[in-house]
Amino acid sequence: MSLRDTILSIQNDTPTEVVEVSEWGGIKVLVKGFTLGAKDDFLASILDKKTNEPNLKAFNVGILIGTAHDPETGEKLFTEEDVPVLKQKSAAAIDRLIQVGQRLSGLTEEAVDIAAKKSSSTTKDERNS
C-alpha cells in the first residue's frame, strides 16, 4: 500500500481530550478537534460579510458548539439554540473548553487572520472577474 493510500485509509484521526469542568461539578466534556472540512466551514462562517474581519462572538461560540461532545455518546453537546443559556455560564469554564478546542483544531489567532486575508483576496478577485 502506498503512503498516500495508507494516509487516506486512516479513520478517526482527529485528536480528542477529556476536560473536567470543576465549575459544573466536575462534569467531563469530550473535546474533539475539527476535521479539515469542519475547520474550513467554521472559518468561513465567522467572517463578517461586510468587513471580512473575524467575528469574535461567532468564533468562541462556533468552537464550543463544534468541538464539545458527550464523552459517553460522542454526540455534540450544544447547538445554536443553547447560546443564550451558555452566555450565562462561567467564562472560565467555557474558555477552558474553547482553548482545548482551538488547540486540537490547530486554530491559532494567526490561522484565523490568514483565513480572513485569503477570504478578502478571494472576494476581491471574484469582484474583479
Question: Which of 47, 41, 61 has its CA nearest to residue 101?
Answer: 61
Angle at 47 between CA 42 and CA 48, to 5 degrees: 145
| pLDDT in 10s for each residue of the chain, 129 residues | 999 999 999 998 999 999 999 999 999 999 999 999 999 999 888 888 888 888 888 889 999 999 999 999 999 999 999 999 999 999 999 999 999 999 999 987 766 666 556 555 554 444 454
Alpha-carbon span 104 to 26, nearest angstrom: 21
Domain ranges across the chain:
12-123
**CATH number 3.30.2220.20 is the correct assignment for the domain at 12-123:** yes
